Amino acid sequence: MKKSKSEIDEYIGSRIRECRLSLHLTQELLARALGVSFQQVQNYEKGANGISAVRLFDFCKILNVSLASMFPPDHSRGLPGPVTRSRFYNRVSASWPIAENQTQH
């Protein structure tokens, strides 16, 4: 089964590549700084692999860019908004019904 790429993974990957190239770094040098293989960096840049928050933060430190610069300027379009308390409660209660007379602790 082939993993599907998400648009945001592809976008972040392209931003990593742009920043890497602007610093004249090879994938191998960047990989060494991150402690991963150059193939892993290649997969990140293609958007084939998603990047954890911690790994993205490491990329940003090494490339000397802000975390926000890795995301599209209008990243709210097409993505869900922040989870508010009521939206969270609605999601949780839909999955795990809670007795109405149960008190909260």
User: What does the mean pLDDT of the chain come to?
Assistant: 82
Residue 39 domain-assigned (yes or no): yes
CATH number, residue 38: 1.10.260.40
Can you read off the two tokens belonging to residue 91?
């999601």
CA distance readout (Å), 23 to 14, 18, 27, 63: 14, 9, 11, 8
Q: What is the pLDDT of residues 28-73, one digit of tens each?
A: 999 999 999 999 999 999 999 999 999 999 999 999 999 999 998 8
**Is residue 82 a part of any domain in this protein?**
no
How many domains does the structure of the chain reveal? 1
C-alpha 27, offset from chain centre = 19
What are 29-40's pLDDT values in tens digits? 999 999 999 999
Distance CA 92, CA 98 (A): 9
Q: Give residue 82's Cα distance to chain centre.
A: 15
Does residue 90 form part of some domain? no
**pLDDT at site 1:** 44
Please name the amino acid found at residue 103: T
What is the pLDDT at residue 78? Answer: 57
Q: Give percent of the chain above pLDDT 90.
A: 62
Domain span holding position 32: 7-75
Residue 51 lies in a domain: yes
pTM: 0.68
Q: With respect to residue 80, please indicate whether it lies within any of the assigned structural domains.
A: no
pLDDT confidence of residue 74: 72
